[in-house]
Amino acid sequence: MRLILLTLALFSILIASCERKKTSREGEIHIYLLSDHESLDPLWEIDESTIVTEVSPFIKYEDILSYDPKNHTFKISSNAQENLKGKEFDIHTRAFVLVANLENIYTGYFWASYSSAICPWLTIDPIHARYAGELRVELGYPGLMEGMSIPDRRNDERILSILRHDQKLIE
């Protein structure tokens, strides 16, 4: 009987002393490719009321390792890098939407750095992302040019609070 009580006591102590993994989340952030959308002419601005996403996220939350709000860069896992390497991006675009807690926060384009065309909307260079392991979200390609007006929601509080909660925000 003493042996059973001693075993139960030791087992209880072991369970109580184990570090518990966080199970609750503030939310999740995903990047979806768009299967359909309309642009507001003559700009590349995506009409958010018309977007249709692919079924599964292209970049899943678990593949986002960190986010630096100063340079608007997501560090991504090697799995996400492989996903990027396996995807063909044509010379100009592949539209995406960043979603936080099932809300569309901002849209943009995977825009290859070898393109000679400008893009007056948010862009991510897929070539840089494939090899550097980071998604740098830029205001326009090749950068914000004079006369461009792009709504900047890259550091939207809904994104930052999720990342902060899960200790993925670089502050």
For residue range 8-21, list pLDDT tens digits in order.
Answer: 444 444 444 444 34
Reported as a single tens digit per residue, the pLDDT across 136-159 is 999 988 888 787 788 999 999 999
Q: Which residues of 155-167 are buried (b: 16+ CB within 10 A; e: fewer)?
A: eeeebbebbeebe
**Within a domain: residue 85?**
yes
Range of the domain at 122: 29-165
Radius of gyration of the chain (CA): 21
Which tokens sit at 77?
């896992």
Residues 6 or more apart whose Cβ sits within 8 Å of residue 167 = none
Number of domains in the chain: 1
Q: Is residue 12 part of a domain?
A: no
In a domain, 24, yes or no: no
Decide if 5 is inside a domain.
Answer: no
Say what the pTM is. 0.81
